[in-house]
Amino acid sequence: SIMRMLVQGGGEVVEALIDHEDVSAITFVGSSPVAKLVSTRCHTHHKRCTALGGAKNHLIALPDCHIEDAARDIVISAMGCAGQRCMAASVLIIVGNGSPQEKLLKKVVEVAGSIEPGVGPGQMGPVISPDSLEKIREYIGKAREGGAEILLDGLPWVTTAGGGVGNWIGPTVIRHKSSDDAAMKEEIFGPVLSVYHASSWDEAIQIENSNPFGNAACVYTSNGGYADWFTDRFRASMLGVNIGIPVPREPFSFGGLYGTLSKYGDMDITGDGAMEFFTNRIKITSKWGGIPSSG
């Protein structure tokens, strides 16, 4: 039988659940360090475990992409759920510097800047906790101090949204001069989109490949051949073409890439991977002989 639980508590509670003799398998979604610990403890007890960790999802925009459609999709991916979902994009790599690239970035800022605080359709709510808010503010501050350009600043929401009550921070778009900035490489988990102009396809894919996470990636283009080039080279398990939230539909399964910080353990949590995880394959080998004739 399968039981879903919402468990409150710290490490002792998690360890007790994993160690319990009546628990044969565990699924987990959370930060990479905790996912690794959960997976390691489960396997110590020879139990199945699917533990999905963090993410740093990359979007790559080529000059031939449809500006209006791409900009809307980029903002939905980065700012939906206040950027606090595992499929949220947090890095936009724009290939080249020119008029199409500037038009795309301007449109992204415009669409993101039109979002209002709230919990209704088209609005964006607060982040989950004061600690999360403080972490996001620290990354924005570090980027500013490091010379990055804040194209859209969400900090005013801290005092203006929700009447100053709640963990509010608005959509933030940062243009970086270096792909080594912390906000370009580390999981922020908030409504912050880091933008970097790559000089070539090779530089763009190198930035995506060098990240230790391996959850999702997307390319925006009007050319199928260009799309194939990137999907053949992305280092992530859920890939999109002009879709910034590339959640696979069944029977294909949801989960990060083995060997990265996005995935520990066995199988995935949906689709055919989940069927394999939550069931046992029973193999029957039979031989019939000496059966009396009905005549």
Q: Residue 183 to residues 66, 99, 131: CA-CA distances in angstroms? A: 26, 26, 17
Say how far residue 226 (Cα) sits from the centre of its chain: 23
Beta-carbon contacts of 47 under 8 Å, excluding residues fewer than 6 positions away, are: 18, 23, 24, 25, 26
CB 201 within 8 A of CB 229: yes
Q: Where are the alpha helices (DSSP H) in the chain?
A: 11-19, 32-44, 67-79, 99-113, 130-145, 157-160, 182-185, 201-210, 224-231, 271-278
Amino acid at the residue 32: S
Residue bearing tokens 């066995």: 266
CB 36 within 8 A of CB 51: yes
Per-residue tokens: 40: 């390691």
Residue bearing tokens 């510097």: 97
The DSSP secondary-structure symbol of 54 reads -
**Active-site annotation holds for 86:** yes
CB 252 within 8 A of CB 267: no
Per-residue tokens: 120: 């209704």
Catalytic residue among 42, 49, 65, 86: 86
Active site residues: 86
